[in-house]
Chains A and B, each alone.
Chain A
């Protein structure tokens, strides 16, 4: 029996041949992938004076005016200089600006450091400052940086002097340009390469120059030998994002990174006692509080709100949940911030007194309520709920994913997060204004309290350029916040780092990863 086939016109393959080829192709393809992997960039090396740092996230972009989050700023602050800075003692200090002064209520004059050049040798002068501020404020930049909301424009006075105009008095403008909005970018370079090119190969004036970036894997910087403050002690800096804290700690233990930044107290506790690993805890600025809806239910009564403050044993909370890595605060203004009044003391923690106040207010058996928090703060919320229960306040915990939490926090419905919610403010300007700007004055979206006096005090500290006037307003505001208790005041969190024996570095209270002064020791 035979089958007729058309005449062959070249090589023909049977199904069996194809199968064989297919079988060979699979390992060949696999091998090519593996080889491709071998040829890729090598992992961060500990050789030389290179410091390897890990944090949970990579920068969102390397264009400093198109980001507004700390993980991005932590990287960018090493490539870019800001107009001002915070020194190790948390004082506002010169950086690109040598000095600044308020000319009138609507003008700040900055005198710039002469001779500063960008990494591409372009001069960093008053024109660059004007260009940077205008680019930031241009809606087409779509910048998420919001602090410079009152800046109306800038005028170049001479090569090293620039006036910044504001639409209303902005007494803390110099503090606001110590991070995000204060970054100066190179006008000519941006003009030449455009925003996309700038984000791909950023050029700043900072102590480190951009070398390479493989998103979500590794970002490499090398020392800028011509930095105005001198060449950094480090020859290079490597940032590696590690979203999983357990992996970051394993990488530290296996000598793949030198410094793990911004750990939670819980993660830091896991490393306690491991040889070669040191946990450093520094005072931080992030301040937590409970927002109370003073316009509805039992929380309308000041006695009930004070009872809550007496019931939440903050020192116990810090010890039990935060492993001691936080500090109690009397109100919402952290200790290092301008305006902090140390004559205002924290509430005494007294459950009996809390019960008595509740009884006086007509709640001898306590009451039922809800405590809302973001998933990230689940442990703290649960612990607070437990502490409130001791005084008879039965607060069921409602946990939300961070996105939903954020939506409700800034929604027009001020009761969207329920009667009580756990919140925190970072306040990196190290001025009390940042901590009370969006939650006290009645017209602000997160305010759930009506107090004409508080509104006037907010206005006084926001609009006055006199330090003494602002201090007086802050002092009175903190006493009022304690008397009226529209919030439950909790703690300011420490910045926690894990490191091996190599790094020599400490952050200031803001906790940004500015590595200009960092050193490494081998051996």
Chain B
């Protein structure tokens, strides 16, 4: 198993540091091990989702109107291959995975990969934009709150982000639509395609994550700013900017990066309400529809996509640790 190792603070880099090529090889080995683990995780997710989704009921009952006869149901079931033994269906599914062949969507009658990856640009765009909005607000908010700890500014900023976190996204979305689309008519109410369409959904989606990141950055920064090495840096005559950005923020960023990674994973798959409100053609909305329709192949592929997104983001977070903190190594 790959693990993160933090070297002893007092350890002399000069003596114990491996040659650079060795460090690079170690990093690659660590990534390879992580990827191996990720494959096992994805296999487990694929298996569990395959069997769990089949407990939800019979998709043929939803494909056909209630007037359909038993014979018509049986014919359709056979045409869709749903009458084959479960094990055969499972092995078929597994055999397709390496080729990214997830089967054919029962409802859309289209290859699942085509349906799913067709939504990917919209999902990445929204998640990426929301993360940019989120960081643009959360990082200054966290820094200001930490530097003004205990003062009115701190309370004000934290109260603001908390209100954001406590407000349901569908309500924020509708409110933004009413103000900017209906009242002032400066932004579109819904849809997809232009930069203007992205603004309201990105803000709506970012509002929740802002609080999570800002609060964590604040507490982390407060902790770091009380450290000895900050006092030393100040004693050496380093200016406030150098102290905060060069030493404080850098050291406070480790836990924040972890949370940013997790939040990005959530943004990729958790934008369901925002996508509904803004009619955004993303994967979250597609997944909800697939679950409602019992579109087995599509649900399986969506679950696998979300799992893969989390695995990749976590891997990136781990790699970023080694870049942020020289004491951290990815080890096999």
Contacts and interface: CB of A to CB of B under 8 A. Distances in A.
Contact of A6 (B21, B118, B132): B21
B61 A37 contact: no
Contacts of B193: 37, 40-43, 217-218
Contacts of B163: none
Interface in A308-326: none
B170 to A, nearest CB: 8
Interface string B314-332: 0000001011101000000
B19 A6 contact: yes
Interface residues of A, number: 71
B328 to A, nearest CB: 10
Interface in B156-183: 170, 174, 177-178, 181-182
Interface stretch (A61-69, A111-119, A261-269, A487-495): A61-69
A403 B177 contact: no
Contact of A144 (B64, B78, B292): B64
Interface of B: 14, 17, 19-21, 56-58, 61-70, 72-73, 75-76, 78-80, 107-110, 115, 118-119, 121-122, 124-125, 128-129, 131-132, 135, 170, 174, 177-178, 181-182, 185, 188-195, 197-198, 276-279, 281, 285-286, 292, 294, 320, 322-324, 326
A216 interface: yes
A445 B70 contact: yes
B182 A403 contact: no
Contact of B125 (A27, A37, A254, A437): A37
Given A254-B182, A256-B191, A3 B65 contact: no
Interface in A136-167: 139-142, 144, 146-147, 149
Given A34-B198, A215-B115, A246-B174, A1 B192 contact: no
Interface stretch (A293-301, A381-389, A404-412, A449-457): A404-412
B276 A218 contact: no
A200 B63 CA distance: 21
Contacts, number: 192
A40 B196 CA distance: 11
Nearest to A68: B65
Nearest to A29: B128
Contacts of A74: none
A406 B129 contact: no
B65 A247 contact: no
A248 B68 CA distance: 33
A240 B189 CA distance: 13
Contacts of A247: 174, 177, 189-190, 276-279
B21, B119, B188 — most chain A CB neighbours (10 Å): B188
A241 interface: yes
Contacts of A141: 79
Nearest 10 CB-CB pairings of A with B: A216-B281, A142-B79, A40-B193, A250-B189, A30-B132, A254-B181, A217-B281, A146-B68, A251-B189, A242-B279
Contacts of B281: 214-217
A250 B181 contact: yes
Interface in A185-205: 195-196, 199
Given A5-B20, A33-B125, A437 B66 contact: no
Contacts of A437: 67
Contacts of A60: 107-109
Interface string A437-452: 1100000011000000
A33 B133 CA distance: 13
Interface string A1-13: 1010110000010
A6 B20 contact: yes
* Most chain A CB within a 10 A radius of its CB, from B67, B281, B326: B67
Contact of A19 (B189, B190, B292, B323): B323
A217 B323 CA distance: 40
B192 A199 contact: no
B144 to A, nearest CB: 20
Most B-side CB within 10 Å, residue of A216, A403, A446: A216
Most-contacted residue by chain B among A30, A142, A196 (CB, 10 A): A142
16 contacts: A5-B19, A6-B20, A34-B198, A37-B125, A37-B198, A68-B64, A196-B110, A217-B193, A241-B279, A244-B277, A250-B190, A254-B185, A407-B58, A410-B73, A434-B67, A445-B70
Contacts of A142: 76, 79-80, 109
Contacts of B58: 407
Contacts of A12: 20
Contacts of B109: 60-61, 63, 66, 142, 195, 199
Given A40-B194, A254-B185, A240 B66 contact: no
A38 interface: yes
Contacts of A19: 323-324
Contact of B286 (A5, A149, A216, A253): A216
B24 to A, nearest CB: 10
A22 interface: yes
Given A61-B109, A144-B64, A146-B68, A38 B194 contact: yes
Contact of B66 (A61, A241, A438): A438
Given A139-B78, A250-B178, A251-B191, 18 more contacts: A12-B20, A22-B323, A33-B124, A43-B191, A63-B109, A146-B65, A147-B67, A216-B279, A217-B122, A217-B192, A240-B279, A243-B279, A244-B277, A250-B177, A251-B279, A254-B189, A403-B294, A407-B57
B108 A61 contact: yes
Contacts of B66: 406, 409-410, 425, 438, 446
A403 B57 contact: yes
A483 to B, nearest CB: 25
A36 interface: yes
A193 B286 CA distance: 27
A250 B185 CA distance: 10
Contacts of B67: 146-147, 425, 434, 437-438
Contact of B57 (A15, A254, A404): A404
A364 B275 CA distance: 53
A29 B70 CA distance: 53
Nearest to B127: A33
B79 to A, nearest CB: 4
A37 B202 CA distance: 13
A18 interface: yes
